[in-house]
Amino acid sequence: MDHNLITTAFEIDGYKITKNLGIIRGITVRSRNVFATIGASFQTLVGGNITLFTELCEKTRVEAFELMVRHAEELGANAVVGMRYDANEVMSGVTEVLAYGTAVVVEKN
């Protein structure tokens, strides 16, 4: 799937939606590792971006996004509209990240 056809909007300029395939999602659950937590604790002492957690969050979002894209492709979609992320703490140190949207088939206008 062309990632340019994945959007938070509900339409894609230059394309018309010809088929709505329904809600799709990609979900991943991650925990912090002990070494990253210790390293991040040191980073909090000096302030600023806590890069260890930033990297973990980015990897988790990418994984959820790719799972969502795979789900859309399995349904026959060539685009996703209304794409969003959600995150919840499942338990202390364990976070769920959900990427979701609506799988659609689009054609150029």
Residues 6+ apart with CB under 8 A from 81: 7, 9, 10, 11, 12, 17, 101, 102, 104
The pLDDT, as a whole number, for residue 43 is: 56
pTM of the model: 0.82
Return d(Cα 43, Cα 10) in angstroms, integer. 40
- CATH number of the domain that 49 lies in? 3.30.110.70
The pLDDT, as a whole number, for residue 39 is: 56
Smallest CA-to-CA distance from 53 within 70, 71, 64, 39 is with: 39
The pLDDT, as a whole number, for residue 44 is: 63
Give mean pLDDT in consecutive 10-residue pieces for the chain, a chain of 109 residues: 97 98 96 59 61 81 97 98 94 89 97
As for how many domains the chain has, the answer is: 1
**Domain residue limits at 18:** 3-108
Return d(Cα 31, Cα 48) in angstroms, integer. 22
**Counting Cβ atoms within 10 Å, is residue 57 exposed (0-12), middle (13-18) or buried (19+)?**
middle
